[in-house]
Amino acid sequence: MNSSNTPYKRVIITSRKEELPGVVTFTLAFADGRPIPYRSGNFITFIFTMKGVEDRRSYSISSTSELNEPISFTVKRIDNGCYSRILYDQTKVGDVFFIAGVTGRFTLPVNTKKFQQYFFFAAGIGIGPVFPLIKSLLAKDENAFVTLIYSNRWQGSTIFYDELVRLAATYGNRFQVEFLYSSSKNLERARISKALLPVLMREYVRVPKSSILAYVCGPYNYMRMTILSLEEYGIDESNIRKENFRPFERPVIKTEPKDQKTYTVHLKLHDREVSFLCHYPDSILEAARKNGVLIPFSCESGRCASCAGRCVNGKVWMAFNEVLLDSDLEEGIVLTCSGHPIEGDVTIEI
């Protein structure tokens, strides 16, 4: 990729740490040596070029901004994973990549004291964004109780195991961790399930259910089962945050907007304002790209919020949304990758 022709940012690998066989953590900085700003729980979107075609992959940030840690991300090598193999097998200190930016909404509330207890459910590499959130909470909110339920095959495949054990020893009853191993002989406590989850909740819950905020990250089936079980236990949907483990799987769109007319989108970017026509079935993001306007994006499937903006005028219908909360929608936040203007022109701030 020619750096003189790209709007993307050049970053350099500043360190590489082997966590486990097949799992590595990389630290990054801008190519000019400046640190990269981020929030704990964010992810970073890399731009790869394969056979002349641009491709994107997002990796969760595993460092903690509140502790002033330089930005890092942790990758697990997947045998048939195109880019995870490149990163694990070939990437070394000094290598340069291009990124589209740092974003994501799998973050802590601005006011963490709104909740008294935080539950984190993670499986495998899903610990990546969860680990910094736990460290941040323990460091910044001395009144918060934190509980981690972490699923893996066995102890030797548990990423950040030693660090998590040290945190539990350091923070005493403020931080409790339950390691679940699928290889365990105790099958009743080997995998998270609809039967086990309420048992664990009864063991660890210390506050009213309305004062609990839960975070879930892992493979799709794991998250689906965990979220449904939490809701059946009595945790309100609005008190559950999720980070999709595989956001690049496109959803099947089953509905269409009643209004499919052509309208003008007025886009307020950081440094300029642009306008272009948008006609269904093009999304706002697709219409922008056809008009040479760059909007940040990653998954294009309504699951990551990289493309999110605030609609300050008009109405936007979204074909798919798996990331924005009701509170986000009330503030006018929309996804441009699945959004279409309806009932007139719209103005969106990015």
pLDDT band of residue 304 (cuts 50, 70, 90) is confident
Both 126 and 205 in a single domain? yes
The domain of 177 spans 112-244
Both 179 and 60 in a single domain? no
Q: Is residue 255 part of a domain?
A: no
* CA contacts within 13 A on the Cβ side of 244: 22
Q: Is residue 2 part of a domain?
A: no
Model confidence at 1: pLDDT above 70: no
Q: In the predicted model, what is the mean pLDDT of the chain?
A: 92
Distance CA 341, CA 334 (A): 11
Q: What is the pLDDT of residue 6?
A: 59
Distance CA 218, CA 325 (A): 19
Q: What is the pLDDT of residue 138?
A: 96
Backbone phi and psi for residue 57, each to the nearest 5 degrees, phi listed first: -140, 140
pLDDT band of residue 95 (cuts 50, 70, 90) is very high
Counts for the chain of helices (H) and strands (E), in that order:
7, 16
Please state the rounded mean pLDDT for residues 198-217: 97
Where residue 171 sits, what CATH number does that domain have?
3.40.50.80
Q: Is residue 4 part of a domain?
A: no
Q: Which two tokens stand for residue 150?
A: 């972490």
Question: What three-state secondary structure class fits 208?
Answer: coil
Both 218 and 123 in a single domain? yes
CB 265 within 8 A of CB 350: no
Q: What is the pLDDT of residue 272?
A: 87
Q: What is the pLDDT of residue 245?
A: 56
Q: Indicate the residue among 58, 81, 103 that finishes a domain.
A: 103
Both 50 and 79 in a single domain? yes
pLDDT digits (tens, 9 = 90+) for 2-17: 444 556 899 999 999 9
Residue-by-residue DSSP string for 35-61: PPP--TT-EEEEEEEETTEEEEEEEEB
Q: Which two tokens stand for residue 41?
A: 């729980």
Q: Is residue 212 part of a domain?
A: yes
pLDDT band of residue 81 (cuts 50, 70, 90) is confident
Where residue 36 sits, what CATH number does that domain have?
2.40.30.10
Q: What is the pLDDT of residue 286?
A: 94
Q: Indicate the residue among 210, 244, 278 that finishes a domain.
A: 244
Sheet containing 96-103: order of strands: 53-60, 43-50, 96-103, 9-20, 23-30, 72-76
Q: Is residue 17 part of a domain?
A: yes
Total of domains in the chain: 3
Q: Is residue 190 part of a domain?
A: yes
Q: Is residue 249 part of a domain?
A: no
Q: What is the pLDDT of residue 4?
A: 46
Please state the rounded mean pLDDT for residues 157-171: 97
ω into 198 cis (within 30 of 0): no
Amino acid at 149: I
C-alpha dihedral, 24 to 297 to 244 to 87, nearest 10°:
-20
Both 93 and 117 in a single domain? no
Both 98 and 117 in a single domain? no
Please state the rounded mean pLDDT for residues 98-118: 94
pLDDT digits (tens, 9 = 90+) for 258-278: 999 999 999 998 778 999 999
CB neighbour burial string for 103-126, b if at least 16 within 10 angstroms, e if fewer = bbbbbbeeebeebbbbbbbbbbbb
Please state the rounded mean pLDDT for residues 201-221: 96
* CA contacts within 13 A on the Cβ side of 348: 27
Both 308 and 230 in a single domain? no
Both 147 and 96 in a single domain? no
Please state the rounded mean pLDDT for residues 60-64: 97
> Which one is predicted more confidently, 42 or 306?
42
Both 154 and 92 in a single domain? no
Both 120 and 218 in a single domain? yes
Residue-by-residue DSSP string for 219-274: -HHHHHHHHHHHHHHT--GGGEEEEES-TTSPPPP----S----EEEEEE-SS-EE
Both 296 and 231 in a single domain? no
Both 75 and 163 in a single domain? no
Distance CA 171, CA 176 (A): 9
Tokens 């590489």 -> residue: 16
CB 214 within 8 A of CB 115: no
Q: Is residue 129 part of a domain?
A: yes
Q: Indicate the residue among 103, 123, 142 that finishes a domain.
A: 103
Where residue 319 sits, what CATH number does that domain have?
3.10.20.30
Q: What is the pLDDT of residue 255?
A: 80
Q: What is the pLDDT of residue 300?
A: 83
